[in-house]
Structure 1
Amino acid sequence: MNKGKGTAKVLFVVTSCDVKGDTGIPTGFNLSEVTHPLEKLEESGVIVNIASIKGGKAPLDGLEDFNDPVNAKYWADTDFRNALENTLKLDDVKAGDYDAIFFAGGHGTMWDFADSPAVLRLVPEFYESGKIVSAVCHGPAALVNVKLSNGSYLVAGKNVAAFTNGEEEEVQSTNVVPFLLEDALIGHGANYKHSSNWSNNIAIDGKLITGQNPQSAASVGLAIVKALKINTDGNADSKPAVTPDFISSVSPALSKYTVEKLVGEVWERPGLSKHDRCIVSISSLIARNHTVGMPHYFSKALENGVTPGELSEIITHLAFYSGWPNAFSAVGIAKELFAGKGILQAELPSTDPLRLDKKEALPGDENRLRFIQQSIAPMSEGFAKYTNELLYGEVWLRSGLSSRSRSLATVCAMIAAGDIQFLGLYMDRAVQHGINKEEMDEVLTQLAFYVGWPKIVSATLVVKEVYEGIGK
């Protein structure tokens, strides 16, 4: 089934399991999770072969929607039907023949993907040779038990999306499947990307691309196309909006300090990760509406482990602390960046993601609530309402950004804006979210170059009191 005209080749893998365990209930692969990504790949000239665990005829799961025009188009295609009747046996496949591997879903995968010797052999070969590993819906069952050559699980520390426990419950299969995919991935260290049931949601972590459900299948296909293009063409390096030569034309000394001290020393100090340094910088830029630096630093953030979803959440969050106009300015810059890098909307947090546990996200929130009710509500009932119900009832609980990163962004924005009256309260929460004194030392050091020395002097006195008060 070589409809593609290009040189890139992708291997699709489907299940060979046609019954759900010992229940007698028929199952197989989900048709739309094959056809929708296949359409995106073939439109881009990619050659696709289809394999299954056992080879030969691949079973459908019986949930086919032939009113779906993409399904109908491929079901009427003789070559496609023939490929499903005569799938390659996965044991016979060589990773060297392909640029990417994609695991389609369907409940059958839950019985024959996770412990397949062929899967456990092939996936590390693809991944460790820099090739794309992708899956959708129940397809990530193939990733659950995969270990890399260093003995670690492939999914450990990676952003992963897959069929949720809630979706499994909705289709009444919680007690049918041999394990819950969400729990298994989290159990092996995945950073599980939550979204509401049946929403288009994908996670991209380097060469690992995963999607949550059938609604995400086309987006996974587009993401594979994008990744294949990156493999071929490479990434253009981001360039600072203001170059050293540009600065030197007016201030040679400032250019020297920028290159030698800010870039050469501060950004390389070991006390804070590059990921967190990027959050520090972009939060300060958004808080002060400094759009000149946003293109460079937003791009730098994506290059240093800040995901598009995290950047999206930071902009949303800081709308409440720096104002909607500042957030809109950041949206305009990020929109151009996302378009240039081919970042899909499905990579971003949904409007209604799963919520974090409130006790963990907002420790000691009863003190804040008491203050709002006693001091704010009598004067402004509306402000109190939106503070409690929207900012703290929704925004702080969104799962698209860790509580630690959310606290870091908030504290940096407050310092950047000179809002230190309640900085101590937010610092208390930041400490409870795991930001230690040594890390805060680096945060203040870096912020000095972006917001000015006077603001850091004022903020340091507040931060010092917070850490000195720990344990008292």
Structure 2
Amino acid sequence: MYIQKILLVVTGTGTYANSGLATGLWLSEFTHIYHCAGERGYEMTIASPEGGNTPVDPESLKPVVLDKISREYWENPEFREMLRHAKKLDDVREQLFDCIYLAGGHGTMYDFPDNAVLQAIITEHDENNKIVAAICHGVSGLLNVKSSNGEYLIKGKEITGFSWLEESLANRKKEVPFNLEASLKARGANYQKALIPMTSKVIVDNNLVTGQNPFSSKEMAEVVLQQLHEREMTDL
């Protein structure tokens, strides 16, 4: 029996460059896909641009946003130890997964967009008809990816990601290194967002699956797993 393989890509950046405020991975954007894939017995590999410790944004641990699943994982010492030992992207460069999942958190805005290894992995998987998924600020990892024809991967694609209004509501407009929504549009993406900020929105465009914000975490996991299941059925 074939076991589906997922590469979960996380940030290794724990502070905003211009202020020193703490940031990192937004926990729920990792735990929901990790939980759903684990329940189905899928094989998961966790990697970051430089490997090693995965900082977690303290904002994502606050009771007002820490959902039941995320809290249970965070209280598990083995889970937290696992996050301290992400593989380096270079070490998984030659592997082909069924899905690449770029988890979010503001830290990704620093170490995802210009990482050549991540770009190469995404291009290879997209061109091998594998799922490329990204949620919230993790979508920044798609910004500079080009297909073999030299075009930006997201050009003409329906896509979502953390909106500029949501950045304002999160009080991070002065902290972030760029405007993600504007940058996605500048690359020619057909950017879409939920009518009400901070509510779930997930978009599927062929191999590309994107989620808008942390509140999309549960739906995002369900959609990605459904996409994997449908492809598995097609291949039987």
Q: CA deviation at 1:77?
A: 3.1
Distance across 1 between alignment mates of 2:25 and 2:75: 18
Q: CA deviation at 1:79?
A: 3.5
- Map residues 19-168 of structure 1 onto 2, 5 A cutoff: 19-63=15-59, 64-65=61-62, 68-94=67-93, 96-168=95-167
Aligned residue in 1 for 2:201:
201
- Map residues 380-399 of structure 1 onto 2, 5 A cutoff: none
Q: CA deviation at 1:72?
A: 2.0
Write the deviation string for residues 180-203 of structure 1: whole angstroms up to 9, x where unpaired.
111111110111112121111011
- Map residues 272-283 of structure 1 onto 2, 5 A cutoff: none
- Matching of residue 215 in structure 1 with residue 230 in structure 2: no
Write the deviation string for residues 389-425 of structure 1: whole angstroms up to 9, x where unpaired.
xxxxxxxxxxxxxxxxxxxxxxxxxxxxxxxxxxxxx
Distance across 1 between alignment mates of 2:203 and 2:222: 12
Greater Cα shift, 56-65 or 198-207: 56-65
Aligned residue in 1 for 2:172:
173
Distance across 1 between alignment mates of 2:168 and 2:58: 19
Amino acid at match of 2:131: I
- Tell me, yes or no, if the aligned pair for 1:20 and 1:177 is still in contact at 8 Å: yes
Write the deviation string for residues 194-236 of structure 1: whole angstroms up to 9, x where unpaired.
212111101100110000000101111111111111221119x
Q: CA deviation at 1:94?
A: 2.9
Amino acid at match of 2:204: I
Q: CA deviation at 1:95?
A: 5.3
Write the deviation string for residues 216-266 of structure 1: whole angstroms up to 9, x where unpaired.
01111111111111221119xxxxxxxxxxxxxxxxxxxxxxxxxxxxxxx
- Summarize the Cα distance change of 1:160–1:96 in structure 2 as closer, same or farther, 3 Å threshold: same
Amino acid at match of 2:217: A
Greater Cα shift, 192-201 or 70-79: 70-79
Secondary structure of 1:48 counterpart: strand
Structure 2 unaligned blocks of 5 or more: none
Greater Cα shift, 209-218 or 17-26: 17-26
Write the deviation string for residues 32-73 of structure 1: whole angstroms up to 9, x where unpaired.
110012112222222212111110111111121465210122
- Tell me, yes or no, if the aligned pair for 1:95 and 1:126 is still in contact at 8 Å: no
Aligned residue in 1 for 2:4:
8
Larger proportion of strand: 2
Greater Cα shift, 206-215 or 31-40: 31-40
Larger proportion of helix: 1
Instruction: Answer 1 or 2: higher relative contact order, Cα 8 Å, separation at least 6.
Output: 2
Specify the structure having the higher radius of gyration (Cα). 1
Aligned residue in 2 for 1:238:
none
Amino acid at match of 2:107: G
Runs of 4+ in 1 over 6 A off after TM superposition: none
Distance across 2 between alignment mates of 1:38 and 1:17: 20
Distance across 2 between alignment mates of 1:234 and 1:11: 21
- Tell me, yes or no, if the aligned pair for 1:134 and 1:209 is still in contact at 8 Å: yes
Amino acid at match of 1:140: V
- Tell me, yes or no, if the aligned pair for 2:93 and 2:117 is still in contact at 8 Å: no
Distance across 2 between alignment mates of 1:6 and 1:214: 31
- Tell me, yes or no, if the aligned pair for 1:6 and 1:45 is still in contact at 8 Å: no
Secondary structure of 1:138 counterpart: helix
Structure 1 unaligned blocks of 5 or more: 236-472
Greater Cα shift, 91-100 or 216-225: 91-100
Secondary structure of 1:189 counterpart: coil
Distance across 1 between alignment mates of 2:29 and 2:4: 20
Distance across 2 between alignment mates of 1:40 and 1:91: 26
- Tell me, yes or no, if the aligned pair for 2:33 and 2:218 is still in contact at 8 Å: yes
Amino acid at match of 1:200: S
- Tell me, yes or no, if the aligned pair for 1:6 and 1:47 is still in contact at 8 Å: no
- Tell me, yes or no, if the aligned pair for 1:211 and 1:217 is still in contact at 8 Å: yes
- Map residues 180-191 of structure 1 onto 2, 5 A cutoff: 180-191=179-190
- Summarize the Cα distance change of 1:6–1:65 in structure 2 as closer, same or farther, 3 Å threshold: farther
Distance across 1 between alignment mates of 2:98 and 2:20: 37
Q: Taking structure 1 as the reference length, what is the TM-score of the superposition?
A: 0.47
Indicate the RMSD between aligned Cα atoms, in angstroms. 1.8
- Matching of residue 18 in structure 1 with residue 30 in structure 2: no
- Tell me, yes or no, if the aligned pair for 2:109 and 2:177 is still in contact at 8 Å: yes
Distance across 1 between alignment mates of 2:88 and 2:205: 28
- Map residues 62-461 of structure 1 onto 2, 5 A cutoff: 62-63=58-59, 64-65=61-62, 68-94=67-93, 96-195=95-194, 196-234=196-234
Q: CA deviation at 1:74?
A: 1.2
- Tell me, yes or no, if the aligned pair for 1:12 and 1:104 is still in contact at 8 Å: yes
- Tell me, yes or no, if the aligned pair for 2:105 and 2:138 is still in contact at 8 Å: yes
Distance across 1 between alignment mates of 2:130 and 2:100: 8
Distance across 1 between alignment mates of 2:231 and 2:94: 16
Distance across 2 between alignment mates of 1:77 and 1:172: 30
